[in-house]
Amino acid sequence: MPHLVIEHSRSLEQALPPQEMMQLAHDAALASGQFGRPDIKVRLVATDHALVGGKPDTFLHIGLYLLSGRNTATKKALTTSLVEAFKARLPDVATISADARDMDRETYSKILR
């Protein structure tokens, strides 16, 4: 845990290549001290078309999926650090956002190799 799902305008890949985008999110999550390196999973979802404020523009949104149990202040610190990390690397993006979503510990399942 966690899962970071980055939805973004495909055109942002010119300024920040996909591998660097994933690494930036991974590093921000690791720097929080909340997770171990092997526990962080990052995925990208590139979008060809988006409206921001009713007009075509660029965006980046990070969905942060966490096992339930963290307090609001911790989740806010995590989303803020992610937004700030991307703001520094993509200063011309129309909107950068992140939200934290709890996954129920009692029903979460996974397979380890």
Domain contains 111: no
Domain contains 32: yes
Report the pLDDT value the prediction gives residue 60, as an integer from 0 to 100: 98
Domain contains 108: no
Distance CA 22, CA 16 (A): 10
Residue-wise pLDDT tens for the chain (113 aa)?
899 999 999 999 999 999 999 999 999 999 999 999 999 999 999 999 999 999 999 999 999 999 999 999 999 999 999 999 999 999 999 999 999 999 999 999 988 77
- Taken in order 84, 101, 56, 45, the sign of the CA dihedral is positive
Distance CA 60, CA 34 (A): 23
Domain contains 113: no
CATH number at residue 79: 3.30.429.10
